[in-house]
Structure 1
Amino acid sequence: MPLKSSFCYSVALATVATATLAPVASAATFNFSYTSSAGTITATVDGTLQPDNNTVFVSSISNTTFNGSPAPALPLTGSSVDSIFAGVITGQAVLSLDGSVLDFSACNTTTCNDEFGFFPAGFITPVAVFLSGGGYGSVFELFVITNYSLTPAGTTTVPEPATVLGLLSVAGVGLLCKGRKLEK
């Protein structure tokens, strides 16, 4: 096998292996519930389950209820930590299936006139904190893990950007090798 052809096959094989072994995240819908001293919030959370199979990067929250009644819509989500420093809702909202990772705010406006959220452990207190305002009861209290639930309702596999780039690289190497073969 000529050196150029051997090189093409080696690069193609390495690229396929890289693309195949890249982690895959899952876009999913989750059922959320948290019970505070003011009452119970339920919602549908859309997000991306990370490769650790626990952490969820939240993209939106909908169908919110408070104590069984429809509650104000919260179209904006973000990081509680980032938002407190910025003064407006910003950053990546994060929840986890087991409740160990919480950095989440959901608000009706950029200045959060109606909201609920979680501050991670170590930010305000040594343990996570839950807060809510307006139509979600007005509380600021320590997070109680037994009152928290985030469970998958549906999942769609989404390739990570590295996988997509890897597959594009395979196509590029294939075209390169095909072009070299035609030149002979």
Structure 2
Amino acid sequence: MPLKSSLCYSVALATVATATLAPVASAATFNFSYTSSAGTITATVDGTLQPDNNRVFVSSISNTTFNGSPAPALPFVGSYADSFLGGVVTGQAVLSLDGAGLDFVACNTTNCIDGFGFLPPNAIVGNTTDLFASGSAYGSTLPELFVLANYSLTTVPEPATVLGLLSVAGVGLLCKGRKLEK
């Protein structure tokens, strides 16, 4: 094997190994969107992806918009079921990548004067389906049926992941260019 090919192969292998073996953080940032009967809410969600690779324990929500306009900040997040029963925002806020098992409320105050949330089935007597509700700044919807097709939670790629992929592509192009020189 010529020296150039051997060097290219070694660099490619080292790059892939570095990208593959890089530590994976469990905390992540997600893009959130939900369209209710009143309009569309979007936000940035920070949380921890659980080992099931679906549920996200939410720690904060920011950059909220309603129908494309900035909406009030929602510094308090918790379990809708716990908050509904207790009157204050408490418990673990849970969203999921596939829209199953949502139990989430985001509010502007601890007693939730305004905000929005997803109430899971059986959290209150007589409720057998997932529900969505929002306050005045988010369209004032009374509890309505949750529509899975209107829900989205996607991971925002970390800069290190993007750089790792770009470095692998760069080495690949470098190796391809060296083969064409022959």
Q: TM-score w.r.t. structure 1 length?
A: 0.69
Q: In 2, Cα distance between the equivalents of 1:153 and 1:27? A: 11
* Structure with greater contact order relative to length (CA < 8 Å, sep ≥ 6): 1
Q: In 2, Cα distance between the equivalents of 1:134 and 1:79? A: 20
**In structure 2, what is the equivalent of residue 136 of structure 1?**
138
For the structure 1 residues 28 and 155, does the alpha-carbon distance in structure 2 shift closer, same or farther, using more than 3 Å as the test?
Answer: farther
Deviations 1:112-150 (A, max 9, x none): 111100001232421100000020011120000000000
Q: In 2, Cα distance between the equivalents of 1:134 and 1:73? A: 13
The 5 Å alignment of 1:23-102 reads 26-102=26-102
User: How many residue pairs get matched?
Assistant: 133
For the structure 1 residues 135 and 67, does the alpha-carbon distance in structure 2 shift closer, same or farther, using more than 3 Å as the test?
Answer: same
Q: In 1, Cα distance between the equivalents of 2:70 and 2:94? A: 23
The Cα shift of 1:155 comes to 5.1
Q: TM-score w.r.t. structure 2 length?
A: 0.70
Task: Tell me how large the CA RMSD over aligned residues is.
Answer: 1.5
Q: In 1, Cα distance between the equivalents of 2:83 and 2:25? A: 25
**In structure 1, what is the equivalent of residue 151 of structure 2?**
148
**In structure 2, what is the equivalent of residue 127 of structure 1?**
129
Q: In 1, Cα distance between the equivalents of 2:137 and 2:49? A: 29
Check whether the contact 1:47–1:57 (CA below 8 A) recurs between aligned residues: yes
The Cα shift of 1:35 comes to 0.1
**Structure 2 counterpart of 1:129, which letter?**
L
The Cα shift of 1:59 comes to 0.1
**Structure 1 counterpart of 2:108, which letter?**
N
Check whether the contact 1:25–1:51 (CA below 8 A) recurs between aligned residues: no
Q: In 2, Cα distance between the equivalents of 1:147 and 1:138? A: 17
Q: Does 1:114 align with 2:114?
A: yes
Unaligned runs of 5+ in 2: 1-23, 160-182
Give the structure with the larger strand fraction: 1
Check whether the contact 1:26–1:49 (CA below 8 A) recurs between aligned residues: yes
Deviations 1:78-131 (A, max 9, x none): 000111121100010000000011000000001111110000123242110000
**Structure 1 counterpart of 2:53, which letter?**
N
**In structure 1, what is the equivalent of residue 15 of structure 2?**
none
**Structure 2 counterpart of 1:54, which letter?**
N
